[in-house]
Amino acid sequence: MKKLLFIICLYLFFLIYLPQSGLAGEPITYSAAENLKAENPAKAAALFNKYVKENPMAADAARAKYQEGILYEALGDYYKAYKAYQHIIENFPLYPNQDDLLDRQYRIGNYYLMIAKQSSGSFIGKIINPHQKRAIEIFKQVVENAPFTKIGAKAQYRLGYAYMETKQYLEAVTEFQIVIEKYPGSGYIDDAVYGLANSYFLLVQGPEYDQFSTEKALEYFNRYASEFPHGKNNADAQVKINKLKQNLAKGLFLIGEFYEKNKRYEAALIYYNEVESLFPDSYYSEKSRSKRPVLEGIVEALMPYKEIMRNYEDCIMLYYSIKVKDPRFPWEFWKKDPLTPKERKRLEWAEQLVKAAKSHKKEAEQLFKTEEKIKSFELKIRSLKDDIQHYKTQLKREEAVYEQLQNGVVSDEKQASEDSKIQDGLKRLQRKQRIKIRRLRKKIKSKEKEIIKLTAQFEQKQADFNANKQEYYAKRDALIEKAQKLRVEVDLLVAGSDEFALTDINDITLSDKKIKWKKANLKQTQQKKEEKPEVLRRLADEAAKEKKIIIPYENQLRGGSFDYWWKVLVGEKERVKTPSDAIQLYLK
């Protein structure tokens, strides 16, 4: 019963109240909505919308929808305004003022793009930003509404720009490419080329990754610089071109380093040469140039051993080409031998050649490692010296910037002295610059320490090699001679000959005797060099006690200083009374 009473009351409410309010019962007219524009624009917009829904074929339906869009724009509900204009374009293609509708849609898209950029700085804006999607949706619709028109070209460019701002760089590349291809006569070609180059630039991941994006970015930045030399973004394009060249040079250099670490020195040389030829002014070109002579020395040292390595590979292939004819396992010796006596003889001889070639290969690797280790130290030292030079150049630049900041060099000095914010900003920059300079100095010091350590090791290895040079070269020449004999045997077997040049395998077998490396004692030679300065220090101490003078250490180390200073301090030529006298004598 209660439910029935509630339904009756609700029916009476709709029957009595709604007709009086004008929202139901009475038909909605254009003039009724027009009269509410000034008094209640939100209600007027809703009435215009309802009027068009109820009278879609009315003569003033398009005008009503246009008024709805204008009202929503005034109220700040731009998305509803865009939808109202889109309704006119889709349902009233003969509407006379289509350009105005497209222009309004374009401006609404620009508004959402601007809001998206402003809100993207906040944390919530980065996670939830519907304005970006709406800007992209509107620009897409404008391009679809008016392809191959001036407004379409503008919207197409802004669509690419919107994708770039939302970090959808691949989509931005596609849209900027459409501007270049479909709208070559528009005034947006320079911006589209720069946007395309910038999108590829932002896709660059680093020299360790694929360099397709780097190459494309460099291509379009170069195109922008050549076609638009006075463009507004030309300075930025030049800076990015230099960065991209450094990135490409570093990528090639890292590939060369990879081959170098894996002891593929010829391949490493190819990439280092490519860095030098393509990017001659880059830092990595200088590093490649310093590495090249050492690597060429390693390749030259490797050349005699290449034939030995090839012998081993050919012997293995030859052995298995004959062995394949005998499918028996070792425990199946009782089965009939499928090989003829001549083939059996060739197989046994090939087996012996494999053992000899293996011992040749092992010996060649050991001999080559001896020279390779020395060269590797030289490579590391050269690389570190290049790094130090690079850091020192960088340090000079940073120190110059720091001096400018200390002097307070800004665009308006009077304003800088008056405005405390500028001074605070300068102090912050000075602190950051000091940190940069400190880090660079630390890097230089650590590299210098490493060079000292590596130089000592390099000198020791070089001295050891020089002490055993004759024995080393004798061993190498003997190995090469035996490898040449082995090559003759391999060639005969490959040719199918049953006769062999050697009768005894011992003629090409290496002896078990190894080189007994004599270690050069660099410490003894260093001690001998330091004996005289030690004596001079003692004499200098005694002289300092008696005459209150100090002999600089540099003076103690000059040629023939021991005999000279002994006579000056102890003997008949005692002429040193003050430190200035000692300096004058040293200069003479």
Q: Are 318 and 283 in contact (CB under 8 A)?
A: no
Q: Are 394 and 440 in contact (CB under 8 A)?
A: yes
Q: Are 483 and 307 in contact (CB under 8 A)?
A: yes
Residue carrying structure tokens 């890292």: 254
Q: Which amino acid is at 466?
A: N
- List, for residues 202-234, the tens digit of each pLDDT value: 998 878 788 889 999 999 999 999 999 888 899
Cα separation, 158 vs 134, whole angstroms: 13
Residue 49, CA distances (Å) to 46, 56, 248, 468, 563 in order: 5, 10, 59, 100, 112
Q: Are 540 and 551 in contact (CB under 8 A)?
A: yes
Q: Where are the domains of the chain?
A: 303-326+341-507, 522-587
Q: What is the structure's pLDDT at 103?
A: 93
Cα separation, 319 vs 331, whole angstroms: 20
- The structure tokens listed for 423 are 């001074």
DSSP letter string over 287-340? HHHHHHHHHHHHHHHHHHHHHHHHHHHHHHHHHHHHHTT----GGGTTSPP-S-
Question: For every one of its 588 residues, what pLDDT tens digit does the chain have, with 9 covering 90 and above?
Answer: 566 666 666 665 554 444 434 444 456 788 888 888 888 888 988 988 888 888 888 888 889 899 999 999 999 999 999 999 999 999 998 888 899 999 999 999 999 988 887 776 554 555 556 788 899 999 999 999 998 889 999 999 999 999 998 889 999 999 999 999 999 888 899 999 999 999 999 998 878 788 889 999 999 999 999 999 888 899 999 999 999 999 999 899 999 989 988 888 888 999 999 999 988 888 888 888 888 888 888 888 888 888 888 889 988 998 898 888 888 887 777 788 888 888 888 888 888 888 888 888 888 888 888 888 888 888 889 889 889 998 999 999 999 888 888 876 444 555 545 567 777 778 888 899 899 999 999 999 999 999 999 998 888 888 888 888 888 888 888 888 888 888 888 888 888 776 776 666 777 777 655 555 555 555 444 444 444 455 555 555 655 555 544 454 445 444 455 555 555 555 444 444 444 444 444 444
Residue 36, CA distances (Å) to 29, 88, 110, 117, 327 in order: 11, 22, 30, 36, 102
Q: What is the structure's pLDDT at 577?
A: 46
Helix (H), strand (E), coil (C) string for 514-548: CCCCCCCCHHHHHHHHHHHHHHHHHHHHHHHHHHC
Q: What is the structure's pLDDT at 222?
A: 93
User: What are the residues whose beta carbons fall under 8 Å from the beta carbon of 56, sequence distance 6 or more?
Assistant: 91
With CA atoms as reference, report the closest residue to 72 among 90, 58, 86, 60: 86
pTM across the whole model: 0.68
Q: Are 204 and 217 in contact (CB under 8 A)?
A: yes
Q: What is the structure's pLDDT at 341?
A: 86
Q: What is the structure's pLDDT at 584?
A: 47
